[in-house]
Every structure is written in C-alpha cells, then in structure tokens.
Amino acid sequence: MAIAIRVHSTGAPEVMQLESMELAAPGPGEVCLEQTSIGVNPLDVSQRKGAVPIPLPSGLGLEGAGRVTAVGAGVSSVQVGDRVAYATGPLGAYASARLFPADRLVRLPDTLSNDAAAAVLFKGITAQYLLKTTGQVRPGSTVLVYGAAGALGQLLCAWARHLGAQVLGVVSKPASVARAEASGCHAVFVFDAQTLASQVAQATQGRKVDVVYDPIGRDTFAASLDCLRPRGLMVSFGATSGLPPAVEVGVLNAKGSLFLTRPSLAAHTASAEEYQSRARDVLDAVASGILTPQIWKSYALADAALAHADLEHGRSQGAIILNP
C-alpha cells in the first residue's frame, strides 16, 4: 500500500487530496521505487491550477528520489537496493512509492543525499539545457536571470558565472538581493518595468545582454525584450505571472532583430540518452562544487498544500521538498 497526492479538479492547493493506492508489480522496463524525497517545482503549481492542462484525475510531481524495491523484466540498468532519482514524467512523484521507467532513473553517488537529489536534479537539468543548449553561454557572455534568488535562479546564476558569463540578476524585492549576489550575480536589480532596461544598459556600458532568462511571463516580457542587445536571445520558459502575450514578429525586428524561444524540459530530455547525459552533467557540477543544492524547507507529503502555497506566494528562498 502506498499513499499519493491526487487531483480530481484544478484550483487552489486544497484540491490536492492524499489517497491510498495499491501498487501493481513492475512491468517490463519498469521498477518499483520507494520514495523518501520529492521535489516541488513551479510546474507542479501550474498544473494543479490548470494553467498547464493535464488529464484528470491525475497525480502530481516530476521529481523524486528513493530506493529501488523491485524490477520488471528486461531491467538491467538498476537493481534492487539502488538509490536513484529522476526529474521527468510520467506524473506522479507526490507519492510514497510508485512504478517508474528504469531508463529514466539516475543512480545517485554516495556523496549526494536523497533530499539533495530531489532538490537539485529537475532544476539542475533545466539550468543545464538553458545555459548550454538554448543560450550557449560561454566566457564573455552577458546574461540576465529573473528569479535570481529562487531555487532555479540560484543554480542558473552559479553555473553561468562558472561558465565565464557576466551575470545580472533580477529579484522581486530588496530582501532577496543579498541571496542573489551570493549565488553569483555581478549585479542585482529589484524589478521595475520602467527602469530595468536602463539599469541593464548602465551595467553593461550600453551594450545590454546577450540572453535573457525569463520564467515570469506576462508581467516581465516587454521589459525583458528591452534589455537585449541587437540579435540577442529572449528565453521565455515559465509563466508564474501568466503566459506571455502574443508577439508581432515585426517587434522583434524593430528591437534589433531579436531571437525568441519558448523551450521546455521535455523537448530537451526526449530521449533517454539525452536525459541521462544532462543528468550526469548536473551531478558532476554538484560534485565539483559548481552547484550546491539549497533546501529551504521540507514538508510532509500530507502537507503538500502548504508547500504549494509557500511556493506560489513567493515565500520560498530555495528548493522545497516533500518527505512521505
């Protein structure tokens, strides 16, 4: 018997219900995973609210860590007793135990705890593809990172600085500035749509930035475009304030032949090979000290609604995890 969070309708955090369920034996290519740590991410909130549609009823969550307790036919990559983690679908991470495809599991080194893995893998792979594939950040690049004091932003800033970039951070309130600076930002701005572009221009001697990483969406999109140099890249990958508005393609030309992309983790981990490669890069970055998992708070699985409320209302200062 396992317990899991299920949603039968979208809405406020209270739509999440803790239910008991029977687990079948793992099928071909599957394992049974006993979970000790579950990552909470903004995408979970968007799916619960209905902003990102999912079939209902459904589980929630795309990140977890634990121990393999049984394996199905044909599984050779992991064995019973292995500590493993994952950071993609299928949905259903908010559970004490679950079935999961073996080829999407990442074996954990002894030096990384289950809690730390659940705090860093999903966000770390996101940072990895955004920096190394989408933005192709290298020495001399200049990047602007929104949410620089948040769980993902801290990883993005630290890794971008390690890659040799000038890192400018954006936060929502003055209390977050010091945390963003500690994550690797060369300069940090409290968001004001009217002044951000001029602040960025001043910090870059008028050049502005090569890449903007904007997970906020509607409220920041226009200001983000104004922070880019000619032929700069706008990376819109989230929607915490709502989806960005539609863009007239002529606007991109008028603002300097800008590039615009809307990437997703799923498209950058579609094959098991690509997923495993990105996950290894994240674990290597943690092992070498480039990335440090920052757990702000742990909640019992039964208190997932409280965790969502803290994340949704901007109270978190790092990663949030659930412990069954």
Say what the pLDDT of residue 245 is: 87
Say what the pLDDT of residue 118 is: 98
Q: Using alpha carbons, select from 221, 150, 235 the residue that is nearest to residue 188.
A: 150
Distance, CA of 289 to CA of 118 (rounded, Å): 17
Record the tokens describing residue 308, joined without a space: 């969502």
- CATH fold for the domain made of 122-265: Rossmann fold (3.40.50)
DSSP H helices, 35-194, are: 42-49, 114-129, 151-162, 177-182
Record the tokens describing residue 316, joined without a space: 């978190």
Distance, CA of 257 to CA of 250 (rounded, Å): 9
Residues 6 or more apart whose CB falls under 8 angstroms from that of 248 comprise none
Q: Which residue ranges make up each domain of the chain?
A: 2-112+293-323, 122-265
Distance, CA of 80 to CA of 16 (rounded, Å): 31
Say what the pLDDT of residue 239 is: 85
- CATH fold for the domain made of 2-112+293-323: Quinone Oxidoreductase; Chain A, domain 1 (3.90.180)
Three-class DSSP category at 228: strand
- Percent of the chain scored above 70 by pLDDT? 100
Say what the pLDDT of residue 108 is: 98
pTM across the whole model = 0.95
- Taking 50 as the pLDDT cut, the residues of the chain under it are none
Distance, CA of 276 to CA of 130 (rounded, Å): 16
E strand or H helix that includes residue 243? none
Three-class DSSP category at 137: coil
Say what the pLDDT of residue 29 is: 97
Instruction: Please give the DSSP secondary-structure letter assigned to residue 217.
Output: -
CA distances from 226 to 140, 191, 199 (A): 20, 13, 11
Distance, CA of 278 to CA of 126 (rounded, Å): 9
Residues in the chain: 324
DSSP string covering 65-103, please? EEEEEEE-TT--S--TT-EEEE-S-SS--SBSEEEEEGG
Say what the pLDDT of residue 166 is: 98
**AA identity, residue 227:** C
Three-class DSSP category at 111: coil
> Angle formed by the axes of helices 42-49 and 304-312, to 10°?
100
Distance, CA of 242 to CA of 240 (rounded, Å): 6
